[in-house]
Structure 1
């Protein structure tokens, strides 16, 4: 009598991340769920073609308009020899692009998801809430990176703007971009609870973004703004993001155009970190998974 031994075959399904966890009855880790949620959010975002076109095209179009209108005849910003208008406006467009893809995008989209019942359904699943929020942050980072890369390619290719070659400047770009994106995303999550419905979200969020752009040195040279407007702008993160980006893309001598006479990197880091922390606290205390009329 012979005995045969069968060796189990390991197929692709058992090699998938989280497969062993599912067989043992355990949920995948929060990190694995966050990465999966980031992928889902990113796919969903790129299916919304109108939002994609607006978020990606807006900074590029605004840079083209302002550089063309104000840069005629080789006009410059600041004391002689000055900075070409296209180069001066680039940092503001990078900063406002981050604001659009983080704060505005999340504040509106989450309000819509809540209004349509999507958040309520998600809350009823075993997925930890942290995975949902980390997925949103992952989406914002991915979208912002693509957006900024596109803007820099257009700036260098169409307007001849010389991008920095100093690694130190790119390090400054990295931490300002990361802090600004994270703070904008967290504040967008917190602000999403303010609109009463998804239909009113754009009407509530968009004017805030527009006003911040006008007072924060995005559309005008910040040093030329009235003092009271500068003081108002200094309360909000967009002014500090734009200033941090100016320290990256403008020549060092352009620092004389800053009201403080310096780039204030420590102040930039402090304000963006403060908004990240405060937004997190406010978001935890006020975030709603259901509509106001749904209990």
Structure 2
């Protein structure tokens, strides 16, 4: 076990370096939510959001959504495309012939997502606070909520991304398979569109998936309490966020256990 953990730790450093050497990955997963936050904050600068007495500007309103989108992009999108590419170009086949175990490989991937996702979240919060004056929480309990929502969300999305990587038949088709799924989830989960403005049936569909709950969890950290009334149940529902996201983590682990192979069976 110590050898597995040691190899996994060394893979984390390797994966993080490899990630930041890929300009397209850095732009479309790491910097993309920051750019969208900047665009929305500038485009809707004259508008306010929220109930009377608890109005916030566009930067504060969209910060939780961009944090949730960043978790999804860093975890699900990045993992699924990256592993599909590694399977297609023979990297996984070569790794399968080395002493590296799948557990060490997954530790490296999960560690990379945790590191890059954390740096991305810090960058988003700093940009919102420094450039747009978004007030940050002073209550330690809110930051504790942020910590568990982030850790649970990024782990769940990464595991689901590893499972989704088995769907594309080739690395070349991975972006065409994964990106539409990611975009659809963002549009129905309250990332780009105010969740309360969506039809009830679409809210119910989005509630099946974890992204809606992650966005709600981040809203509970960075938005005034008055915004809780706009949620479908009229509250932040932290236990339900934990339950739904935790169930998806279990589902993702089961899918990875069944589907992950160093080499595709139909290759």
State whether TM-score is above 0.5. yes
Query: 1:173, CA displacement in angstroms?
Result: 0.3
1:134 paired residue number: 107
Provide the C-alpha distance between the structure 1 equivalents of 2:30 and 2:8, rounded to a whole number of angstroms: 24
RMSD: 1.3
Pick from 235, 238, 253 the counterpart of residue 265 of structure 1. Answer: 238
- Answer yes or no: is 1:105 the counterpart of 2:78: yes
Do 1:115 and 1:291's aligned partners in 2 also have CA atoms closer than 8 Å?
no
Do 1:223 and 1:258's aligned partners in 2 also have CA atoms closer than 8 Å?
yes
- Answer yes or no: is 1:78 the counterpart of 2:50: yes
- Answer yes or no: is 1:67 the counterpart of 2:47: no
SS at match of 1:242: helix
Pick from 17, 21, 31 the counterpart of residue 47 of structure 1. Answer: 21
Query: 1:288, CA displacement in angstroms?
Result: 2.6
Do 2:74 and 2:117's aligned partners in 1 also have CA atoms closer than 8 Å?
yes
SS at match of 1:88: helix
Query: 1:283, CA displacement in angstroms?
Result: 0.8
Provide the C-alpha distance between the structure 2 equivalents of 1:129 and 1:158, rounded to a whole number of angstroms: 43
Q: How many residues align?
A: 266
2:136 paired residue number: 163
String of CA shifts for 1:155-178, please: whole Å, max 9, x gaps. 001111011111000000000000
- How high is the TM-score relative to the length of structure 2? 0.96
Instruction: Please show how residues 1-295 of structure 1 align to structure 2 within 5 Å.
Output: 29-72=3-46, 75-81=47-53, 82-294=55-267
Give unpaired runs (5+ residues) of structure 2. none
SS at match of 1:106: helix
Query: 1:29, CA displacement in angstroms?
Result: 1.6
Give unpaired runs (5+ residues) of structure 1. 1-26
Do 1:77 and 1:221's aligned partners in 2 also have CA atoms closer than 8 Å?
no
Query: 1:28, CA displacement in angstroms?
Result: 5.6
Provide the C-alpha distance between the structure 1 equivalents of 2:17 and 2:39, rounded to a whole number of angstroms: 31
Do 1:67 and 1:86's aligned partners in 2 also have CA atoms closer than 8 Å?
yes
Change (3 A) 1:80 1:28: closer
Larger radius of gyration: 1
String of CA shifts for 1:105-126, please: whole Å, max 9, x gaps. 0000000000001101111111
- How high is the TM-score relative to the length of structure 1? 0.87
